[in-house]
């Protein structure tokens, strides 16, 4: 990722009806959360939405509670770019514990098979080529796959076995990072495409080696186009929010003290409670960096914001593209297509 991309951080009730909930701020951008072990993805999104007081939030790819690491969370209009991150290459670092297979293929489930056999490094190395490239994989029993309209994990929790068909997944790299033969564990790193279940890899390798296996530790370290350097922890986010809260409280206290003295509060610039927090955001357009991009002048950008097509100018400008985005003065304006030298907007951004 370029240095340029690494520096990209940067309501009243209406009518007479019941009081309406506040909508929050129209803040947009990406929070690349280093999700802690034990926290669910939905819980993480709710926490980030609250911290930023955002109107809207969503994540780009569920991460199990027993997994840690990268959970890209989109705020505001960045939610329009979620599909581009969902489709991105992902990198996981995981530990397989040999000798036991479990119902969930991780530490959460009950032991279903045991073996006294423990593989050597050479034995594990020998089977890795079978799991690289395009392979057929059966998702875990406890997964979000829908079978006859119902989530597989709901059926499995009821005690029934789910018949889940194998499906095609793509694994670009799979390598051993560390091996402790005495402890019966192997640390691996996998680079894979959308829909790959790392828990299934541990299960299938254990069966092939004749020793069984399950995931005992799982961490997602990359979701393209984001990398480890983009990660921010909950502690960092909470500290930034706390910094803003204290600044606001200090101003309120000063104003109250002035009133108690019979004085008018001093005039000062408005204190932004979210200034420190917003600096930890990554710009919305970062999710689109693999798409063709064209910078528009002010007049063309205004036309696009109204939903109109514009002629793309410039010697290096693309003439055809199924997906592209345009900016104006460094700000994302729209997603769309380029056909016959014209940009046709499909999604327009107002707070990017």
State the first-to-last Cα distance of the chain, in angstroms, to the nearest integer: 21
- Would the CA dihedral through 198, 203, 206, 207 be positive or negative? negative
> What is the rounded distance in angstroms from the CA atom of residue 214 to the CA atom of residue 101?
6
In what side-by-side order are the strands of the sheet with 293-295?
A: 293-295, 321-328, 331-339, 342-348, 310-311
- From 156, 172, 48, 46, select the one nearest 112 (Cα to Cα): 156
> What is the rounded distance in angstroms from the CA atom of residue 123 to the CA atom of residue 256?
72
- From 130, 46, 34, 31, select the one nearest 85 (Cα to Cα): 31
Beta bridge partners of 68: 219
Residues designated catalytic: 64
């Amino acid at each position: 990722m370029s240095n340029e991309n690494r520096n990209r951080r940067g309501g009243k009730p209406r009518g007479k009806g019941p009081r309406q909930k506040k909508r929050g701020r129209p803040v947009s951008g990406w929070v690349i959360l280093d999700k802690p072990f034990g926290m669910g993805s939905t819980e993480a999104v709710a926490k980030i939405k609250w911290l930023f007081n955002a109107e809207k939030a969503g994540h780009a790819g569920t991460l199990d509670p027993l997994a840690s690491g990268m959970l890209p969370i989109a705020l505001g209009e960045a939610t329009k770019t979620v599909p581009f991150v969902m489709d991105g290459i992902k990198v996981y670092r995981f530990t397989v514990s040999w000798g036991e297979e479990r119902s969930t293929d991780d530490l959460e489930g009950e032991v279903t098979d045991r073996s006294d056999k423990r593989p050597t490094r050479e034995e594990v190395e020998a089977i890795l080529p079978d799991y690289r490239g395009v392979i057929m994989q059966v998702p875990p029993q406890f997964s979000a796959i829908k079978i006859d309209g119902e989530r597989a994990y709901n059926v499995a929790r009821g005690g029934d076995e789910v018949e889940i068909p194998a499906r095609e997944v793509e694994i670009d790299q799979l390598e051993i990072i560390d091996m402790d033969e005495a402890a019966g564990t192997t640390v691996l790193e996998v680079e894979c495409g959308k829909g790959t279940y790392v828990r299934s890899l541990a299960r299938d390798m254990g069966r092939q080696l004749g020793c069984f296996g399950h995931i005992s530790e799982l961490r997602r370290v990359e979701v393209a186009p984001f990398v480890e350097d983009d990660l921010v922890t909950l502690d960092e986010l909470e500290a930034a929010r706390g910094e803003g809260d204290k600044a606001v409280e200090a101003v309120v206290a000063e104003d109250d003290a002035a009133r108690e003295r019979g004085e008018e509060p001093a005039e000062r610039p408005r204190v932004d409670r979210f200034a420190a927090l917003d600096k930890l955001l990554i710009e919305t357009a970062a999710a689109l960096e693999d798409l063709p991009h064209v910078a528009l002048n002010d007049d063309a950008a205004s036309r696009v914001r109204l939903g109109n097509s514009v002629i793309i100018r410039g010697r290096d400008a693309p003439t055809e593209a199924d997906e592209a985005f345009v900016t104006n003065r460094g700000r994302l304006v729209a997603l769309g297509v380029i056909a016959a030298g014209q940009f046709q907007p499909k999604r327009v951004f107002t707070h990017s």
